[in-house]
Chains A and B, each alone.
Chain A
Amino acid sequence: MTAILPAKSLADRLTTLFWRKPKLLLALLITPPLLWLGVIYLGSLAALLLQSFYSIDEFSGMVVREFTLKTYGELLRPQNYDIILRTLTMSAAVTIGSVILAFPIAYYAARYARGRWKAVFYLGIMLPLWSSYLVKVYAWKLILAKEGIITWAATKTHTNFLLDAALALPGIGGNSLSTSYIGMFLVFTYVWLPFMILPMQASLERVPTSMLEASQDLGATRAQTFRTVIVPLALPGIIAGSIFTFSLTMGDYIIPQIVGNSANFIGMAVYQLQGTAGNTPLAAAFAVIPIVIMLIYLSLAKRAGAFDAL
């Protein structure tokens, strides 16, 4: 009897093995990235969490490796508590601002842009991400400065009073845009906007046109369709985008240093505490806050049914 099948090479044996045991191939493919994610990423996160339960000896400045909640207690001191509140407010404002700005752009891109215009859209969104973040922030500082283009344009168009009125607002105003919370809000919103637009556009793209037509067909006005169909269906994308804008703002330590009135933000506090101050436990405790807030935010969003359309 002659063999019907040709002789097997090593490669053939290997592909046969993988064909018989597909999970083996999957395991081989996924182990290295899982190790990377598990050890380096989650591992360092665990180390951070661990650090936050240590405390610092106030006299020697040495880290005491004993579990305590003392460091977390320090977060409640007025000066630290202010930092948290300030950062949280800014993150929320930036997120809301980004949602409002991003929605029309994402909607246009998802529903109307075709072919070449789609490419223009992606380029327009991604292009700002290609240049250095620092360059953009410094550019904004110049734009917002008292001698900058905004003040100049306001003077030329005799709309100084608008600018002055904005800067006179208590709490968020200031000497000039570049030293006010308004300016910081503008820079944050500019820098993180693409991270809101892209997931939003992706989720809007998955809403079939027939669903919008069905809503209209059943008697809904455009506003009703927007409220009851478009927003709920786009919500997973909005949540995904807001995770980006919210957590990126909470962790950033450069923009608050360059723009604004040099009031402290969580990112800056972490940067200073782990560096010059050597207070790693408090820095770690500060760093845990955004994580906790995001977890609370996500569980609230889930309970509100934000992911039902997934």
Chain B
Amino acid sequence: MPAAVEFRSVSRHFGPASAPIKAVDGVDLTIAEGAFFAMLGPSGSGKTTCLRLISGFESPTAGEICIFGENVSNTPPHLRNVNTVFQDYALFPHMNVRDNVAYGLMVKGMAKAQRYAKAEEMLALVHLDAYGNRKPGQLSGGQRQRVALARALVNEPKVLLLDEPLGALDLKLREAMQDELKSLQQRLGITFVFVTHDQHEALSMADSLAVFNDGKIAQIGTPAEIYAQPKTRFVADFVGSSNVLPPMLTQSLGGPAKWSSLRPETLHLDPTGALQGIVTSLRYLGSGHRIALTAQGQDIAAILPTGTPLPEPGQEIRLGFTPDALHIMDEA
């Protein structure tokens, strides 16, 4: 069975050929059908360009893009069987919600009664049954997001692309929408590809993700793999703000002379612990305390659960961890 989306050494360069800006640089990527796939990375890492390559708003400078086995590198956006939920939702302000949702069916020539029935069905799916007659300007951010979702899904796309779908929502709404997106995807079984710079969002929603850096994929894997076994310093640092330890420090903790990562929450106070440092600051997080310390000139963070006795700033402490918490990376 062909993959939902496949990138074969795809590059997208901007600017002059003599000094190109490599937005996407030789990316190989396979997204399985029915996956909830996240593209995670800082801004400018190439994740959004990759999404636009799938939707067809960018063409690859080199390489091939296949959707369900079909090479679409030269197919214009309106002929691809994918739909996008835009970052700013891009709802048409001059149409009401129902016409917005029915737009894709309208341009394909579906009769009015039929397309309105389908639009209402989709609006019900995103819990906006009663909002068909409203204009997008009369909706809240979260409601607009749902309309954008319904407008894309009504076309029954093979792949749904979401560009920073929750970026404009406040925290509470974002968490509610995360759950809703996830359950929607499981119910519909459509392949979802979403772009985000928020590692929590990527880890909690996706079943697999790609971490982008400088136009290349730094690592692909399940959230658990990426979180526990980052391959590079960049991944360790970007995903879950891990402590990245230089080879010297790794060695002094009993590891090989390689870069390693150590999750803040795997550390605990231990008078016989291997990691010794001076506390520089304490920060209350609600569920715990974040303790910053310096050990051998390196900044280390530890998260201690609420209820444990806390050290004072300036105090020298020792921290322990289970041996498998220290993850050795390939980088020497």
Contact = CB atoms under 8 A, between A and B. Distances in A.
Interface of A: 208, 210-211, 213-221, 224, 228-229, 232-233, 305, 308-309
B108 interface: yes
Interface stretch (B62-70, B90-98, B290-298): B90-98
B14 interface: no
Given A213-B77, A219-B78, A220-B78, A309 B86 contact: no
Contacts of A213: 55, 57, 77, 84, 86, 90
A275 to B, nearest CB: 47
Nearest to B148: A214
B87 interface: yes
Given A218-B104, A219-B108, A221-B107, A210 B78 contact: no
A226 to B, nearest CB: 12
Contacts of A208: 88, 90
16 contacts: A213-B84, A214-B84, A214-B86, A215-B103, A216-B78, A217-B57, A218-B78, A218-B103, A218-B104, A218-B152, A218-B155, A219-B104, A219-B155, A224-B107, A308-B93, A309-B93
A218 B90 CA distance: 12
Contacts, number: 68
Nearest to A305: B94
Contacts of A228: 103, 106-107
Contacts of A211: 90, 92
Contacts of A309: 93-94
A229 B100 CA distance: 11
B206 to A, nearest CB: 22
A214 B155 contact: no
B197 interface: no
A308 B93 CA distance: 8
Contacts of A216: 57, 76-78
A214 B90 CA distance: 6
Given A215-B107, A216-B57, A221-B107, 4 more contacts: A208-B88, A210-B90, A218-B155, A232-B94
Contact of A210 (B88, B108, B151, B152): B88
A216 B76 CA distance: 9
A217 B77 contact: yes
A219 B91 CA distance: 15
A220 B93 contact: no
Most B CB contacts (10 A, CB to CB) among A208, A211, A218 go to A218
B49 interface: no
Contact of A218 (B88, B93, B135, B151): B151
A308 B107 contact: no
B191 interface: no
A217 B78 contact: yes
A228 B105 CA distance: 13
